[in-house]
Structure 1
Amino acid sequence: METQRVVALIVEQLEHDRAVAHASLKAAHEAATHEESKAENKYDTRGLEAAYLADGQRRRLAEIETALAAYRNLQAGSQYAVVRVGALVLLESEGAERWVFLGPDGAGLKVTLHGAEVLVISPRSPLGAAILGMALDDEVDVNVGGRRHRYSIVHIA
């Protein structure tokens, strides 16, 4: 797996998400300020609801912009001795393998490279915190949703 290509795919996905969020913000703002959104009585909350939606879209757009800046400034290397932010890691658990990318932001994104799904995690996630600083062949235990998972670090790029 090529770490730089994974970062490029993540940036591409974030740029797409930013375009969608920007369009949604524009539509929500227009709905909030449209003449039909003016309250006709004290129980009419269409305008208020549209304003709340626009504010949520504005915050989502800001989050995406922050993630984009973090990835554009990320110095992703080609090989690491230990897991750090910017590392692409292959984990094995009970015979199943899973690629994860420990990113500075954008946790939950999924990209596909050479037919393999790569899940973006952050150091703030339970799995990200557990693998941060670990080396090849190390094992980590992670409790997620009350269940214990054991992972072996098979590859670090």
Structure 2
Amino acid sequence: MNKKQVHNQLILALEATYQGAVKAAERAYNTATNNENVAENKYDTLALEASYLAQGQAQRVAECAQDLIAFQQLNISAASLKLSVCLGALVLLHDLDDNEKYVFYGPSAGGLKVQFAEKDIVVVTPGSPLGAAIKDRSVGDEISLFIGNKVIEYEIAEIY
């Protein structure tokens, strides 16, 4: 598995998310500032609602920009030199049924999923249950996750 290419794929996905958020923010701003949306009476709240939406979309743009910058600045080469899971690591997990799960241990954007070499790769962060469980672990280590009332077990098969 080529971690550099996976990293590039994640950056492309984050760039697309950022561009989508910018377009949504522009539409919300245009709606909020449109002269046709001026309140006609005290019960007409369309402009107020549109301004709240524009504010939320602007915040989303800022969050997407932070995610993108965090991944662009991530030193994946340094992660490759370590023998344990750290930021920038691509990790292959096996469950008890020997099913594979690829996760990229990233600084943000948890839950982002990309496909590479016909494999789904999901970003996990240190703050997520899986991210916390694999942090600083090595190949061969077994981890257990308690999700709800269910226990999920994995073995770290490889760290790229």
Query: Normalised by the size of structure 2, how large is the TM-score?
Result: 0.94
Match of 1:143 among 141, 146, 156: 146
For 2:131 and 2:82, the matched residues in 1 are separated by: 16
The equivalent of 1:110 in structure 2 is: 113
For 1:145 and 1:80, the matched residues in 2 are separated by: 32
The DSSP-based 3-state class of the residue aligned with 1:91 is: strand
- How far is the alpha carbon of 1:48 from its aligned partner? 1.0
The DSSP-based 3-state class of the residue aligned with 1:143 is: strand
For 1:31 and 1:144, the matched residues in 2 are separated by: 42
Amino acid at match of 2:127: R
For 2:52 and 2:152, the matched residues in 1 are separated by: 39
The equivalent of 1:101 in structure 2 is: 104
Poorly superposed stretches of 4+, deviation over 3 Å: none
8 Å contact 1:102–1:121 — kept in the other structure?
A: yes
- How large is the Cα RMSD of the aligned pairs? 1.1
8 Å contact 1:82–1:135 — kept in the other structure?
A: yes
For 2:66 and 2:148, the matched residues in 1 are separated by: 28
The DSSP-based 3-state class of the residue aligned with 1:90 is: strand
The equivalent of 2:94 in structure 1 is: 92
What is the number of residues matched between the two proteins?
157
For 1:28 and 1:2, the matched residues in 2 are separated by: 39
- How far is the alpha carbon of 1:143 from its aligned partner? 1.5
For 1:16 and 1:4, the matched residues in 2 are separated by: 19
8 Å contact 1:10–1:111 — kept in the other structure?
A: yes
Give unpaired runs (5+ residues) of structure 2.
none
Amino acid at match of 2:88: G
CA pair 145-58 structure 1, distance change in 2 beyond 3 A: farther
Give unpaired runs (5+ residues) of structure 1.
none
The DSSP-based 3-state class of the residue aligned with 2:104 is: strand
The equivalent of 2:137 in structure 1 is: 134
- How far is the alpha carbon of 1:79 from its aligned partner? 5.3
8 Å contact 1:101–1:121 — kept in the other structure?
A: yes
The equivalent of 1:46 in structure 2 is: 46
Give the percent of matched residue pairs that are identical in Structure 1 and Structure 2: 39
For 1:80 and 1:35, the matched residues in 2 are separated by: 58
